[in-house]
Every structure is written in structure tokens, then in C-alpha cells.
């Protein structure tokens, strides 16, 4: 199909035809026009699919494009190939050359993102409850290659794809552990949920054996546990809110630790504060585990000594901020009245007017509502303002090259739910040393 094995762009073909008039016929030169572009693949062309089903096909396709050169590709190849053939149409779908060219073109596109998957890697990891990819960014920086991602929220999937070129799979509860590639490290920032002990007590009274499948069933931690149980990664790193330790009268944390130990992993945990890297007081518990069958409990892991906090709020502020981020008179009056009311009642509730040379309170997913926990003082006579989404990204340690393709409200939710990237990276470095 290609004359003299030449594959040219439109401009090059035009130039060649002009320079070689009399020697080449313009129709003899095949133009290389990618048959499929990512931007042209949209759910409107697949009306028979639900949004979730279409997102699933995009997840298979993009995961395959990121893993074509390694063994993880076998988990995605069949679904991805069927999808691409469907996109190409029946006239060319059975032509292996056309299919390969389509994959080549699409792979080039998914790698043209701010944080592409490294071509070579020291280890493989998976990213569960991935959010917008804070964990992934940290572990890619450490030389890792992500081979599976799961995140259920569509707007978070959009931000993740814009930065990493990969659409996460959706609801992890509906994904079999057998469908997940082998990996060295499992990463997860799972939600904090109470465990029911009723079923366990009943089994005990009946003299039946019980284990993590009984105690954790119905929670998202169960999905973390079943994947660890089946895939046996060398290590895992879990992140959660500080209060996990005391949640549900300490029962939640007890069940988690007992479950992980039942799965034959040695456990290390510590509450760490993001203020050592960013101007934000953000305490989170990190739970690190290593396969006892492999390490026999002798892994040389230690939590790192964190640097002295030096970052202040002014370091992350933008210079020219649109007026829309300044609080309206009504909202500012409401927040002041609300704070005064609770102060009179002896409560500590109220807004947080953060000094520019200080550090902020914890950024939360509710920041989009009124921004009250972190307000920025402005010139005398001006109302304070909210942080911008870019400032929220910086407050979590994301570089300015991180794209924010969504509107402000979902952006605030996403960064409020994220991890402090440099903190994850410095702890992750100690994990990677043990692999």
C-alpha cells in the first residue's frame, strides 16, 4: 500500500510532489493520516453504551497503550484491540498493518502529556482510589511504572487522563483481582469506613472460622485486602486521615491491622504532617506493609526524618488573581457572624484567615462551598479571598505543569481529597529501597 515504503505527512508529501514533478505522481505517495485520534473518540459515537461502559473501553485502550512493551499488556490487549477495530470500521479492521498504525498513533498521543509513563522502570505499581494521581506522580518520580489505575469519579478521571494519558478503571468493587496485572507495590488512599462486627460475632458463636473476608466485607478496604491477598505485591503503601486510628472506638484500625497481618504482611505506620513540605497543616496516617513470605519481617524500612518546615503561604500564592475569588460582602458577613456565634458559645468553629507568613489549615473537599478554612487576607478595606485551584494544587505539592482541565468546583474537591505529593515521595523512596 505504501509506494517505496514512504510514509509522509501532508506537508512533506506536498513538498515532495512539487520537487519531483515528472518523476512521481502525487497519487503514488500515500499520506500518513492517523485513522483515529483520541479527541475524535467520544461517547456520542457509541450510543448503545452507558457513560460507564464507554469509560471502561477507554480505560482498556489507554492502559494497553501504556503497557504495550511489557507483560501487563496481556490484561488489556483483547479489549483494546476489539475497541480499535470497532473504531476503524469493517473495511480496515482486519488489516493488521492498519491496526498497528492506529495503535502507534494513539500511543504517541497518550504519551504527549505532562507526566507520561516512563519507558523503562525500576518497579511496577498500581494506583487504587487514585483521585487525580498524587500517589502516581510521587512513585513515577521514584522510577516506577503504573500498570493499573482505578478511580470511580468521572471528573477525577478527566483530570487524571489529562495529566497521565490514562483513563482509570471505575468502581473497584466490580473489578476482579484476577484482572489486575502483577505489581511490586500497591498504593491506595481508601476511604475510612466502620466495620460491622455483628457477622463475626455470630460466626464465633456458631464455632465457625472467620477471617478478613468476613470482617471487612462491604467496605472498600475489603477490595484492597482481596487484591493484596491474590496478587501478593512485595509492598503496599496506604494513606488515610489521621483519625483512622481512633475511628469507631479504635475498632476500624484494629481490623485493618489484623487483616493485613492475617495476609502475612509486616506493618509499619505513622502519622505524618505535610507541613514539612508545603505550607499546610495536613496530618495523615501512612500504613506501609511488606510481604512476610518474602522478607520474613526483616525489611530494612524506616520512616524518614522529615525536613524542618520552612514553606509559608505566600510561597504558593499567584500574583494576579481574578476578582471572582474575593468573598462577596454577604458571604464575608455571614462567616464573621457565624464565627462570633460559636465563639460566644465556647466553640472553636469559624473561618481561617491565614497570615501570609504562616501555614494554612487542612484543605478539605468542601473548600468549594465557601473557602472558609483557608482565607487569604488582602489590602485594607478589601474582603479576603479564596485560594485559586492552582494555589490549591501548589498547597498539595503539585508542580505548575499539572493540568487542571475541570471547573473550579470539581477542582477544589479533587485537590481537597488529594495527598501531599512530596510527602508521599519521600516516604515512598524508603519503600522503594527495600524492593
- Alpha-carbon distance 148 to 128, whole Å? 8
192 has catalytic annotation:
yes
CB 190: neighbour CB atoms within 10 A? 20
Q: Return the DSSP state at 187.
A: E
H/E element holding 99? helix 96-110
Q: Which residues contact 111 (CB under 8 A, 6 or more apart)?
A: 117, 165
- Alpha-carbon distance 56 to 79, whole Å? 10
H/E element holding 154? helix 154-164
Q: Which residues contact 333 (CB under 8 A, 6 or more apart)?
A: none
The β-bridge partners of 238 are 188, 287
Please identify which of the residues 192, 257, 392, 434 carries the catalytic annotation. 192
CB 371: neighbour CB atoms within 10 A? 23
Q: From the CA atom positions of the chain, what is the Rg in Å?
A: 26
Annotate 192-229 with DSSP letters as a single string: P-----HHHHHHHHTT----HHHHSTTSHHHHHHHHHH
Catalytic residue numbers, as ranges: 192
Amino acid at each position: 500500500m505504501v509506494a517505496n515504503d514512504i510514509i509522509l505527512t501532508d506537508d512533506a508529501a506536498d513538498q515532495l510532489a512539487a520537487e519531483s514533478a515528472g518523476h512521481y505522481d502525487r497519487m503514488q505517495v500515500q499520506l500518513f493520516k492517523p485513522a483515529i485520534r483520541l479527541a475524535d473518540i467520544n461517547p456520542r459515537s457509541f450510543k448503545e453504551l452507558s457513560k460507564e461502559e464507554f469509560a471502561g473501553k477507554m480505560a482498556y485502550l489507554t492502559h494497553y497503550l501504556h503497557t504495550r512493551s511489557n507483560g501487563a499488556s496481556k490484561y488489556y490487549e483483547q479489549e483494546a484491540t476489539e475497541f480499535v477495530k470497532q473504531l476503524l470500521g469493517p473495511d480496515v479492521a482486519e488489516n493488521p498493518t492498519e491496526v498497528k498504525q492506529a495503535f502507534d498513533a494513539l500511543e504517541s498521543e497518550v504519551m504527549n502529556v505532562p507526566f507520561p509513563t516512563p519507558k523503562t522502570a525500576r518497579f511496577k505499581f498500581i494506583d487504587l482510589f487514585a483521585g487525580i494521581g498524587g500517589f502516581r506522580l510521587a512513585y513515577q518520580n521514584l522510577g516506577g511504572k503504573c500498570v493499573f489505575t482505578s478511580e470511580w469519579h468521572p471528573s477525577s478521571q478527566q483530570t487524571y487522563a489529562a495529566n497521565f494519558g490514562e483513563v482509570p478503571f471505575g468502581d473497584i468493587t466490580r473489578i476482579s483481582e484476577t484482572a489486575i496485572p502483577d505489581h511490586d507495590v500497591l498504593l491506595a488512599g481508601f476511604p475510612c469506613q466502620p466495620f460491622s462486627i455483628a457477622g463475626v460475632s455470630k460466626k464465633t458463636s456458631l464455632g465457625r472460622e472467620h477471617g478478613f473476608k468476613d470482617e471487612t466485607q462491604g467496605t472498600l478496604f475489603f477490595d484492597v485486602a482481596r487484591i493484596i491477598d491474590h496478587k501478593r505485591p512485595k509492598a503496599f503503601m496506604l494513606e488515610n486521615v489521621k483519625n483512622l486510628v481512633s475511628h469507631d472506638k479504635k475498632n476500624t484500625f484494629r481490623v485493618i491491622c489484623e487483616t493485613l497481618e492475617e495476609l502475612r504482611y509486616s506493618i509499619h505506620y505513622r502519622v505524618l504532617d505535610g507541613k514539612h513540605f508545603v505550607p499546610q497543616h495536613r496530618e495523615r496516617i501512612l500504613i506501609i506493609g511488606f510481604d512476610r513470605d518474602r522478607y520474613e519481617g526483616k525489611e530494612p524500612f524506616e520512616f524518614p526524618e522529615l525536613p524542618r518546615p520552612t514553606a509559608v503561604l505566600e510561597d504558593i500564592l499567584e500574583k494576579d488573581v481574578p476578582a471572582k475569588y474575593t468573598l462577596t460582602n454577604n458571604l464575608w458577613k455571614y462567616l464573621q457572624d457565624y464565627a462570633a456565634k460559636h465563639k460566644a458559645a465556647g466553640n472553636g468553629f469559624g473561618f481561617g484567615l491565614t497570615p501570609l507568613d504562616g501555614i494554612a489549615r487542612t484543605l478539605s473537599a468542601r473548600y468549594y462551598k465557601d473557602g472558609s478554612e483557608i482565607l487569604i487576607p488582602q489590602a485594607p478595606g478589601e474582603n479576603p479571598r479564596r485560594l485559586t485551584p492552582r494555589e490549591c494544587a501548589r498547597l498539595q505539592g503539585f508542580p505548575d505543569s499539572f493540568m487542571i482541565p475541570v471547573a473550579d468546583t470539581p477542582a477544589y474537591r479533587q485537590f481537597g481529597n488529594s495527598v501531599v505529593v512530596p510527602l508521599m515521595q519521600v516516604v515512598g523512596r524508603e519503600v522503594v529501597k527495600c524492593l
